[in-house]
């Protein structure tokens, strides 16, 4: 256990930052749910933009504090690299969440509460994933190289995937279990997740939506957590960067929900990032380093600053090129008329 928290509590400054991080997250969760959004409300594009800018600003300030409180340039760059990578990975997550909400025909005014509880669950489950990952790596360092291979595989798979994504919630195993064992009503009851009627406790379809969103986040965490460990092995940096990205996910959802299809090359840029950081992790393998030394290249190491530059360039170029070279619209299907039939 002590091995896991060696980095996390190595100094007073880092402990202070972690305490500040916890206060910020808890404070804004309480304010968000208790004061700002007391009932069902549709989030405007303006509010979504302001919230997105706010969370990017807060995350940037926290990264700067890591630098000034003794973490130095390398730790700060690792934080920003992990943060930006998680942000990019969140785009696919946003798309799937949107498909789930549309599949269940959820009203716009209920989106906020559903995403709030979804993010709260993500905070808890990401902490568990990162803790277990750090525990395993502390005991079996070679797992990092498995992560590297997995990230390269994921990057190649994402690069070759079609932009079209179908979702079939009825085939989700957790959703099947919930429908079978939980009393789920067909009524939404004004945005409630559960209610009591005639002495019987019921869950609403919105509760099922939250379950699907949570399981979706767990699936995406399978990519994002190894990617974070590929960038840094400091649990403090991994968790804080991950959660700051997740906290801004809801605002980014409302901001990008209607324009996601315009950034069609972002998936390609993300695949390049995953392949790059996976390859960077494998470069640290003693076996590969021995091979470099054998052919006279000496120790090959990619500095953190170059990793950050590659991540930013790949994602920025994919967005810019998507705008400069927009995807051709799909041809409309001809409308069948009486004359055509004749």
The predicted-structure confidence for 148-162, as pLDDT tens digits, reads as follows 888 888 888 888 876
pLDDT at 322 over 50: yes
Distance CA 221, CA 90 (A): 10
Contact 205, 104 (CB under 8 A): yes
Q: What mean pLDDT value characterizes the chain?
A: 77
Q: Is residue 78 part of a domain?
A: yes
- Residue with the bigger pLDDT between 311 and 42: it is 311
Span 282-310, average pLDDT: 72
DSSP assignment of 272-287, as one string?
HHHHHHHHHHHHT-HH
Cβ(154)–Cβ(89) below 8 Å:
no
User: What is the arithmetic mean of pLDDT over 17-30?
Assistant: 83
Q: Grade residue 199 by pLDDT with cuts at 50, 70 and 90.
A: confident
Q: Determine which of 40-54, 111-125, 310-324 has the lowest per-residue pLDDT on average.
A: 40-54
- Residue 8: the pLDDT is 42
Residue 252's domain comprises 12-261
**What's the structural domain count of the chain?**
1
Residue 203 lies in a domain: yes
Give the whole-number percent of the chain exceeding pLDDT 70. Answer: 79
Predicted local distance difference test score (pLDDT) of residue 216: 78
pLDDT for 32 beyond 80 = no
Buried b (16+ CB within 10 A) or exposed e, 196-205: eeeeeebbbb
Is residue 319, in this structure, part of any structural domain at all?
no
Task: Establish if 289 belongs to a structural domain.
Answer: no
Average pLDDT over every residue of 308-315:
87
Write down the residue that tokens 């202070």 correspond to. 16
Residue 173 lies in a domain: yes
Is 5 within a domain? no
Residue 273 lies in a domain: no
Q: What is the structure's pLDDT at 80?
A: 92
Residue 236 belongs to some domain of the structure? yes
The per-residue pLDDT for 79 is 92
More confident residue, 132 or 284: 132
Q: Give the lowest-confidence range in 7-16, 80-89, 104-113, 137-146.
A: 7-16
Does the structure show a pLDDT above 60 at 177?
yes
CA distance 112 to 295: 57
User: For the chain, first and last CA: distance in Å?
Assistant: 78
pLDDT of residue 170: 65
């Amino acid at each position: 256990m002590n091995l896991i928290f060696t980095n996390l509590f190595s100094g007073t400054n880092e402990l202070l930052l972690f305490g500040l991080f916890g206060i910020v997250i808890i404070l804004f969760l309480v304010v968000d749910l208790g004061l700002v959004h007391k009932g069902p409300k549709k989030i405007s594009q303006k509010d979504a933009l302001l919230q997105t800018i706010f969370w990017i600003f807060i995350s940037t300030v926290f990264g700067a504090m890591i630098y000034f409180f003794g973490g130095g340039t390398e730790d700060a760059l690792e934080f920003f690299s992990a943060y930006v990578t998680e942000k990019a990975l969140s785009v696919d997550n946003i798309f799937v969440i949107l498909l789930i909400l549309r599949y269940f025909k959820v009203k716009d005014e209920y989106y906020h509460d559903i995403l709030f509880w979804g993010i709260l669950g993500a905070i808890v489950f990401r902490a568990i994933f990162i803790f277990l990952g750090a525990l395993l790596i502390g005991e079996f360092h070679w797992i990092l190289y498995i992560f590297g291979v997995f990230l390269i595989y994921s990057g190649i798979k994402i690069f070759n995937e079609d932009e079209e994504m179908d979702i079939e919630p009825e085939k989700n195993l957790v959703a099947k279990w919930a429908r079978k064992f939980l009393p789920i009503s067909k009524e939404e009851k004004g945005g409630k997740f559960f209610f009591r009627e005639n002495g019987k406790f019921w869950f609403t379809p919105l509760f099922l939506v939250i379950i699907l969103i949570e399981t979706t986040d767990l699936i995406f965490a399978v990519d994002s957590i190894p990617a974070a460990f590929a960038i840094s092995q400091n649990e403090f940096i991994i968790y804080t960067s991950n959660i700051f990205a997740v906290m801004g996910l809801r605002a980014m959802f409302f901001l990008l929900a209607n324009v996601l299809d315009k950034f069609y090359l972002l998936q390609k840029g993300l695949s390049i990032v995953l392949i790059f950081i996976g390859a960077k992790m494998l470069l640290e393998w003693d076996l590969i380093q021995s091979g470099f030394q054998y052919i006279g290249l000496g120790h090959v190491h990619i500095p953190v600053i170059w990793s950050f530059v590659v991540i930013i360039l790949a994602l920025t170029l994919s967005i810019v090129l998507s705008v400069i070279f927009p995807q051709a619209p799909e041809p409309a299907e001809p409308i069948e008329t009486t004359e055509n039939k004749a």
